[in-house]
Structure 1
Amino acid sequence: MAVLVVTLLVADRDGGPDGAGPDTALLDLPRVPWEGGPEYWARFPATADAGWTDPAFFPVVSWFNGISSDEEVRYDRSLGFNTYIGMDPSTPYSLFADNDVYWIGGALNETFTEDSRNWVGTFLDDEVDGRFPPDEARDRLAQLRESAPADRPAYANFTQTVVSRDMTDDDAEALINDYTDVVSVDMYWYTIPFCDWDPYRAVYLLPVEQETCRTASSYGTVVEMLRQRDAADGELQATWQFVEVLNGGPGEGPFLGNIEPDQLRGAVMSSLIHEARGIVYFNQSLSGPCQGGNVIRLSQVQEDFCGAAQVAAAGEVNAQIHELAPVLNTQSYEHDAGPGLDTMLKAHDGYAYLFAMVDGSGPPGERRLDLPAGLAGGEAEVLFEDRTVPVVDGRITDTFTTESTYHVYRIPLEGTGEPA
């Protein structure tokens, strides 16, 4: 990956260099390459006009979720979904506008106009790399992009082929870089057969070992590989990540199982830790005993729905995303917290935030997390867990019970006082 190094040089001013509040202490660390947050969405008139430049906004997308009433949209919003891709063509634009949610796609019907503020993006296509040879896929995306509105970001989703060695670098980099402003890959590690194949195919740009293939860390690795492809042309776009609400297996099977609630939350957090700028939920379940074309809606209308726990888990982690949006919308620092860890370090309004999970190199358990200089020490608040942990000699020691466990630590920067 091409690395852009940006160092925070100014302290004690209103509006830090990340544009999301004052930094009252210095973290003298390089920055992770940045294409996220309000600055990115300000590039496009549609997203800027719709309010995506608000530091408190983070896109959480429901894939092919039908809405037919305000009540249904309010239910989706209660679970943290604010954006839709895929919809029945009869859906009126008013459902988006009246409920402050957003549409990415084409004009569904005559109620959509060029002035429709909540129509924020164009959806080019899904999985062209899996449906066409590379040259045909490129031609298709080029034609679709040519006819797309210039004021709206263009989005496409791909299969895992573009982050594997099954496609040449030139073909993969062209597909990722030449047509889109937002890009994602769908690879449902927990619920498809790939991890069990014998022989196992280690075909990816970064290692995904078979013994830890079916873990949350694999979702983050996809984001990292996609960002590597995206950086090849020296320009960055927003990378989003898919996570299945129930399962991502094909309808013809075999059915391996549904994602568990803790796995769902962990897959989302791993994606964020690896710098995903949006989360897209695969909202269909095509195999196994709990099937449906709109899992989220089934959880609303069916009593004792078999996927209720997974939908609730999505709502829980989405609530955390929205609470942390002003933090997520700041540029991360490069920092190695120690072996066996995936971490992301940010600073906002006088606090450092360290997001942490175990990586795919070993089992869960106790880890020591090294903190950078410039933190007040004493103790760290563990968000969403109603506890604190001591900071001793610049380190936190904590336990990660499972491979999908994550912790978010909030630590005051020097001179800013104790955690609230």
Structure 2
Amino acid sequence: MKPQTAWTLGVVALASIIVAVASVGGGVPPSPPGAGPTGVGPLQSTAAAPVVLRQVDGGPAYYDKFKNGLPGDSSYFPVGVWLESVLDKGNLSMDAEAGINTYVELTANSNVQLIHESGMFAIPSFPHDAAAGYTLSDEVDMWAGPGDARWTGNYPGQGPVCAPDGTPCGYTIQKERRALAPQGTMLYANYGKGVTFWESDTVAGKFINGLQDVVSADNYWFTDPNICGKGEGGAIVGYTRELTSEECRLAANYGWTIERLRKLQDPSAMIPVWAFIENGHPSGDVDNTKTITGPELRAAAWSSLIHGARGIIYFNHNFGGPCVTQHVIRDCGKDIVPTLTTVNKQIKDLAPVLNAPFLDGATTATGPVDLSTKLHNGKVYVFAGANKNTGGTATFTLKCGGSTAVVIDENRTIPIVDGTFTDTFVDGNAVHLYSIEGGSSCGY
């Protein structure tokens, strides 16, 4: 079997919706897997819940166990791009200036050795001594479906994928791709709407558990023309109806996708979930598509991080809009890169906190927000993002005390009175990050 190519992946992306209808065959749709736009997810606790220290999925040094793997120290947080080409130092320089440190999947002509020598990391779909991991087949849950039939070696557009033709073979494909990976390397796979929307928990879980070491799913809530439909984003409301635009085009739904992948896992063997976020216009110029904005991108990234994402991958291709390209960061700088660069710098600066444990139950909120609490070096941090399109006012109650909430990168502080403080979230893209001064670690 030959590695995936840019052409093959393009065929997969265009054909996936059509193929998936025929291939999922996974029984009943999953039960709603987590917090929706108006729901309260597991990272928002009730007042009666105990305060519990919870390590990040996989543990803080998870990447250390792999051969030539990603850094396991707390200062590294994966911020990657999908299916780039790296041919020279100029390519690397432009990406690094935008805050990229990892390449997830690469064109076959890319210089993996150069990436390694530049202090960056590559996870291609072909073996290489300088690679930090190995990518399995992309969106196989959609174009091959959940099943153990024989794989012909074909991808969509190359002839029958499974044998007998029409029977699902996605599990087989991932197992065969695993067998081609260098021994001991970190295995990564991305899935799509099969796992997140169309397959039952049991069926989807067979993709998520045991086939890879890091996982993601690409739900483009801001730009996908079909995702608001009853059989897709309608999962958030139990598949009873399609979502309104206000419910669907919402940053909080990127956190929903993270929770979906987390809840499919065996709790005793959790692996890192990475977020997949479009940084442009991935769906082409058809009805109900658009280019993601800077505030939307920032909010999508932070919603994912609030819900436990251990990495970010940007879909770096534009199939529509004013800047059609395979290299958004390099070619469309004036549109999205300033915001993307600022977001990535903030993630880098907060990497030790993001890699630190969650302090579940330490903070509660009344108001339209999702939140998480982190504990780093004895200090409490609260990250919060709006979960309603209109935003609103939220009041936070801190069990670990505190005198002041310093709003990170906003040059303002909020007094904490009787263990509470209040802040305003102006719309669905509002995110505020707080460092709590004068508090305790609740005994941890």
Residue 342 of structure 1, aligned match among 370, 391, 394: 370
Partner of 2:204: 172
CA deviation profile, 1:65-110 (whole Å, cap 9, x unmatched): 22222122122111110010232323223321231101102447xx
Residue 172 of structure 2 corresponds to 139
Answer yes or no: is the 8 Å Cα contact 1:285–1:292 preserved in 2. Answer: yes
CA contact (8 A) 1:245 1:295 kept: yes
Flag the 1:290–1:138 CA change in 2: closer, same or farther, 3 A: same
Misfit runs of 4+, over 4 Å = 195-201, 204-209
| 1:60-99 matches, cutoff 5 A | 60-99=79-118
Among candidates 411, 422, 434, match of residue 397 of structure 1: 422
Q: TM-score, normalised by structure 1?
A: 0.82
Work out the percentage of aligned pairs sharing the same amino acid: 31
Shift of 1:290: 2.6
User: 1 CA distance for matches of 2:440 and 2:386?
Assistant: 31
Q: Give how far 1:415 is off.
A: 7.0
Structure-2 residue corresponding to 1:125 = 137
1:197 Cα deviation (Å)? 4.2
Q: Does the aligned pair in 2 maintain the 1:36–1:277 contact within 8 Å? A: no
- Residues 21-420 of structure 1 aligned to structure 2 (within 5 Å): 29-32=51-54, 34-36=56-58, 38-47=60-69, 52-107=71-126, 112-113=128-129, 116=130, 119-135=131-147, 136-164=169-197, 166-197=198-229, 202-204=234-236, 209-210=243-244, 211-231=246-266, 234-249=268-283, 251=284, 253-254=286-287, 256-299=289-332, 308-335=334-361, 336-339=363-366, 340-360=368-388, 363-373=390-400, 375=401, 377-414=402-439
8 Å contact from structure 2 (residues 390, 426) kept in 1: no
Distance verdict in 2 for CA 1:29–1:148, change over 3 Å:
same
* Most deviating of 140-149 and 206-215: 206-215
> Where does residue 17 of structure 1 map in the other structure?
none
Post-superposition CA distance 1:95-132 (Å, at most 9, x none): 21231101102447xxx43xx2xx11010110001101
Could you give the per-residue CA deviations for residues 154-204 of structure 1, whole angstroms, max 9, x where no partner exists? 11100022122x212221010111311110000101111235547986235
- AA partner of residue 247 (structure 1): H
Q: 1:329 to 1:179 in 2, by over 3 A?
A: same
Distance in 1, Cα, partners of 2:235 & 2:288: 23
Q: Is the CA contact 2:229–2:243 (under 8 Å) kept in the aligned structure 1? A: no
**Structure 2 residue ranges without an equivalent (≥5):** 1-32, 35-41, 43-49, 148-168
Q: 1:350 corresponds to which letter in structure 2?
A: G
Q: How many Å separate the matches in 1 of 2:282 and 2:265?
A: 25
Distance 1:275 1:406, change over 3 A: same
Deviation of the 1:283 alpha carbon: 0.3
| Residue deviations 1:348-403 (CA, integer Å, cap 9, x gap) | 1232110011224x731221111122x3x221111011111111111111111111
Determine helix, strand or coil for the equivalent of 1:404. coil
Distance in 2 (alpha carbons) for counterparts of 1:216 and 1:99:
33
The corresponding residue for 2:24 is none
Letter in 2 for 1:126: D
Letter in 2 for 1:365: G
Change (3 A) 1:106 1:226: closer
CA distance in 1, matches of 2:420, 2:329: 41
CA distance in 1, matches of 2:249, 2:73: 35
Q: Determine helix, strand or coil for the equivalent of 2:136.
A: strand
* Post-superposition CA distance 1:263-283 (Å, at most 9, x none): 000000000000000000000
Give 2:21's aligned residue.
none
Could you tell me whether the CA contact under 8 Å between 1:156 and 1:183 is conserved in 2? yes
Counterpart amino acid of residue 325 in structure 1: A
* Counterpart-to-counterpart distance in 2, 1:201 and 1:342: 19
Kept after mapping to 2: 8 A contact 1:242/1:280: yes
Aligned 8 A contact 1:65 1:297 in 2: no
Q: Distance in 2 between matches of 1:97 and 1:319?
A: 21
Change (3 A) 1:286 1:225: same
Q: Which residue of 2 aligns with 1:24?
A: none
Closer, same or farther: CA 384–325 of 1 in aligned 2, 3 Å: same
**Higher mean C-alpha displacement, 201-210 vs 212-221:** 201-210
Offset from partner CA, 1:33-85 (integer Å, 9 cap, x none): 632454211222322xx5x1111000011112222221221221111100102
Secondary structure of residue in 1 paired with 2:188: strand
- Tell me which amino acid in the other structure corresponds to 1:235: A
Once the two structures are TM-superposed, the CA of residue 286 in structure 1 deviates from its matched residue by 0.7
2:408–2:434 Cα contact (<8 Å) kept: yes
- For the structure 1 residues 93 and 194, does the alpha-carbon distance in structure 2 shift closer, same or farther, using more than 3 Å as the test? closer
SS of the residue corresponding to residue 333 of structure 1 reads: strand
Checking the alignment, whether the CA contact within 8 Å between 1:188 and 1:247 is kept in structure 2 is no
**Could you say which residue in structure 2 is the equivalent of 1:11?**
none
Cα distance change of structure 1 residues 217 and 101 upon mapping to structure 2, 3 Å threshold: same
| Structure 1 unaligned spans of 5+ | 6-27, 300-304
